């Protein structure tokens, strides 16, 4: 059934299918990357701060390097600039954040492009199928000798391409938004971790994780 539809859809249908396959691979790869990138930032930051209190900078940096995800890289960048002024540490954290966000958004443009282009390709296949049907009628001069199979072949191509374009575009649009939501959540963790590690390194305030722990202990 599938191969039969592919044969009736023509070259435009193959382009749609290949685009959908590429989008699926991108979504699977980005989903796996996001899953690895999301860590329990509060627990991670508590552990790093405890190590820093022992003045074991090397161990803290090693843990940051071995921990996947942008939160660990931001904390690592802050520790590397720990001897600088608060503005210098904040600039280093902001620079690392921009780099990590760019890394997370890599190849998302593929999903967005396929979601936008697939319906247009389906429309193109529809137009070509309708033109094919009209050419059959035109060549026969509109006489009653037109075979139904000759006309329905073009109509079938039109419908198959339209359906294929929508079938590819809708999941791509949903997948793109799912990844954007995951990125937004990770960015929130990055902002919180960046603010807390800068505050700790500069002595600008109490570490939030420590306060939460104290509250739990007192309760």
Within a domain: 218: no
Q: Which domain holds residue 54?
A: 2-117+165-202
Tokens of residue 168, six digits: 């590819």
Within a domain: 109: yes
Q: State the total domains in the chain.
A: 1
Rounded to an integer, what distance in angstroms lies between the CA atom of residue 99 and that of residue 103? 6
Residues 6+ apart with CB under 8 A from 165: 16, 118, 119, 120, 121, 122, 123, 125
Within a domain: 183: yes
pLDDT tens per residue, range 1-35: 545 555 566 788 889 999 999 999 999 999 999 88
Within a domain: 212: no
Within a domain: 159: no
Within a domain: 102: yes
Within a domain: 155: no
Contact 9, 157 (CB under 8 A): yes
Q: What 8-state DSSP symbol labels residue 82?
A: T
How does residue 68 score in pLDDT terms, banded at 50, 70 and 90? confident
Instruction: Report pTM.
Output: 0.77
pLDDT tens per residue, range 101-159: 899 988 899 999 999 999 999 888 888 887 777 776 666 665 555 565 656 767 777 88
Within a domain: 95: yes
């Amino acid at each position: 059934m599938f191969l039969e539809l592919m044969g009736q859809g023509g070259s435009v249908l193959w382009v749609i299918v290949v685009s959908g396959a590429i989008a699926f691979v991108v979504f699977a790869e980005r989903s796996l990357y996001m899953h690895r990138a999301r860590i329990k930032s509060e627990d991670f930051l508590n552990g790093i701060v405890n190590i820093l209190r022992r003045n074991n900078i090397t161990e803290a940096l090693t843990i940051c390097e071995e921990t996947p995800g942008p939160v660990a890289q931001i904390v690592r960048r802050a520790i590397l600039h720990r001897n600088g002024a608060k503005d210098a540490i904040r600039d280093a954290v902001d620079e690392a954040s921009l780099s990590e966000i760019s890394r997370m958004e890599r190849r998302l443009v593929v999903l967005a492009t396929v979601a936008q282009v697939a319906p247009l390709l389906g429309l193109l296949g529809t137009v070509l199928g309708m033109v094919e049907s009209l050419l059959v009628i035109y060549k026969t001069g509109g006489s009653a000798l037109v075979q139904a199979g000759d006309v329905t072949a073009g109509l079938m191509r039109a419908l198959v391409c339209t359906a294929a374009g929508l079938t590819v575009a809708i999941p791509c649009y949903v997948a793109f938004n799912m990844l954007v939501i995951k990125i937004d959540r990770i960015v929130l963790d990055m902002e919180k971790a960046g603010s807390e590690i800068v505050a700790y390194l500069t002595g600008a305030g109490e570490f939030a994780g420590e306060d939460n722990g104290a509250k739990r202990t007192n309760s």
